[in-house]
Amino acid sequence: VNPVGKLLTDAVPELPSPLDRVAEVAARVRRTRRRTGGVTVGLVAVAVALAVAVPQLLTDAGPQRYTDLPRPAGPVLVGADSCPGPGTDFGPSDVDSPGPLVPTGAVEVALCELPVNDMPGQPPVAQEPPRVLRTGVAEHVALLNSLPDKERYIELIRDKYGQPDAQLGCTLIGYPTEISLRLRYPDRDPVFVLLDRNCSTARVEQRVRYWWTDPLADFFDRYRKELGQTTDPRTVKRPDCGQTITADRLRMERYPSGPVDGIGRNRYGTPTMLPNTLLGAVICRYTVANSTAGLTATKSLDSDLPGLRDTLNKQFERDANGPVQPLVECGMPGDPAPTRLDTILVVDTTGAASEFWIVRAPCAAVITAGMAGITPTPAVLRVLDQ
Amino acid sequence: MPRPAPPGFAEFVGDRSAALLRAAWLLTGDSARAEDLLQTALAAVWRRWSLIDDPEAYVRRALFTTYLTWWRRRWRGELPASAPPERAAAGDHAAESADRDAVRRALSRLSRQQRAIVVLRYVEDLSVADTAALLGCSAANVKVQAARALAVLRADPHIKPIDSEVRQ
């Protein structure tokens, strides 16, 4: 046996293969033909342009025209968590190359959030550790690689919505963080994917793909499930009523105030308020005196957590116009101050906790983080009063 | 409508892909790039399938010549510019992975031509003359480059010792 050959052959790891390599090759052949056709058309266009422009240049020597070339991508600055740090340049957004967006074979996907902190008057956003996904990674990578390029994306929009002249654009929402994915591999350096929520694009160096399917929603869906399965329930702190709610927090006039929504941190992509199974819940009853809410009674809701979860999820159901339950001017800053308040505290299998505030007097409203008051459903009131 | 594969192409891919993919990995040291390289070679064969007598020889030639001509240039733009400070966590196969990584690193110290010659000579088991014909260089060049490549591998303290009797 050739020892060098054996040494090298033994070094080859188990290699992942696409489900249908022949189909992948067929797609590659088609792309090459399209590019070849495009180059031919381009060369003809250049020849025509030169035939027109050269005589003009010879007779009228004007200033030379400068054309920007695509920039090479700058360095990805890796911070303390091996995530892109401040100043990271993900490269130009106006160039593209065919082919898969990311290599297959990743063993881990981490969602990195880089605080932007450039909005005057807004409280600073803290750098949080990345969310790390270790199950369903191959499926998530397959989704990333299934995202269409611009040309195909426009075709899909045209076919689905009947818009022959679909124009792509970006919103200008000032998100507090910039999001990227870090894909780690056993046999190569990590790959970073910029997820641009304003343009709905995923970018890796010279490749840009569009969110026909939302990759961020897919990540969070998998991450919530994994976190729920891997968190030891014995380590999860059960909800506990605070003795008071201060006036500042109660009136929500300063940040941070109002109900806590730890579950909301991973709620992206689902309309469901409580996407994971609950581990514990408690009602806290308060009476307000001197602008401060004081605890008067508590009651565990652990006997029917699935029922409670269902009741709360129905309370916050939404349709195309917003919350199904009517909005009400109650409990928010500028509205009459609460005199009686119930809160429902829940903790789920991911270990996250959230609060739901239900103003009982002088008006009735359910309040949760980031949402104006809505009318309580009869089912929620029954939970509180039974 | 996707164009169907030429007759016999799918069978060829099914039969020979594993071996060719291993060779591609030894050239690139990366599973994704190996797959890309293999598919590029297979795409070249697809287009000339009806004219080819020996598809395996053609794919092998396409694999190695593609690697030698534009592989590095094409992939440079897709490599992250900075390596993370941390290492992958050691798992159950830590020792095996370490050996594998050592060989991968040793191969990365070879020139592209040396790497191609080493894989053709010692993994594909081609003769000096066949290797030279495939790469379009002289037999003497194959011998010289093979000797230099083996010297680099032998000098690497992290991989298993290579017998000095191994032919060039």
Task: Give the mean pLDDT per block of 10 residues along chain A (386 residues).
Answer: 83 80 82 51 46 41 32 58 75 72 93 77 76 96 93 84 71 81 90 88 87 95 96 95 91 78 93 95 95 95 96 89 80 85 97 96 90 90 94
CB contact (8 A) between residue A12 and residue B25: yes
pLDDT at B59: 87
Chain A interface test: which of B36, B122, B152, B156 (most A C-beta within 10 Å): B122
pLDDT at A349: 97
Nearest 5 degrees, angle CA A343-CA A349-CA A350? 95
Q: For residue A280, give the H/E element and its range.
A: strand A278-289
Nearest residue on chain B to A71, alpha-carbon basis: B77
Residues 309-338 of A with CB under 8 A from B: none
Q: How confident is the model at residue B3 (pLDDT cuts 50, 70, 90)?
A: low
pLDDT tens column, B17-43: 999 999 999 998 888 788 888 888 888
CB contact (8 A) between residue A11 and residue B100: yes
Q: Is A72 within 8 Å of chain B by CB?
A: yes
Q: What is the DSSP string of B127-160?
A: -HHHHHHHHTS-HHHHHHHHHHHHHHHHH-TTS-
Tokens of B167: 């032919």
pLDDT at A136: 95
Shortest distance, CA B143 to any CA of chain A (angstroms)? 15
Q: What is the DSSP string of A100-157?
A: -SS-S--SEEEEEEEE----TTSPPPPP-PPEEE-SSHHHHHHHHHHS--HHHHHHHH
Cβ contact A123:A201 at 8 Å: no
**Cα–Cα distance for residue pair B87/A255, rounded to 1 Å:** 39
Q: Is the ipTM of this complex over 0.85?
A: no
User: Is B117's pLDDT higher than 70?
Assistant: yes
pLDDT at A201: 92
Residues 69-108 of B with CB under 8 A from A: 77-86, 88, 97, 99-101, 103-104, 107
Residues 101-130 of B with CB under 8 A from A: 101, 103-104, 107, 118-119, 122-123, 125
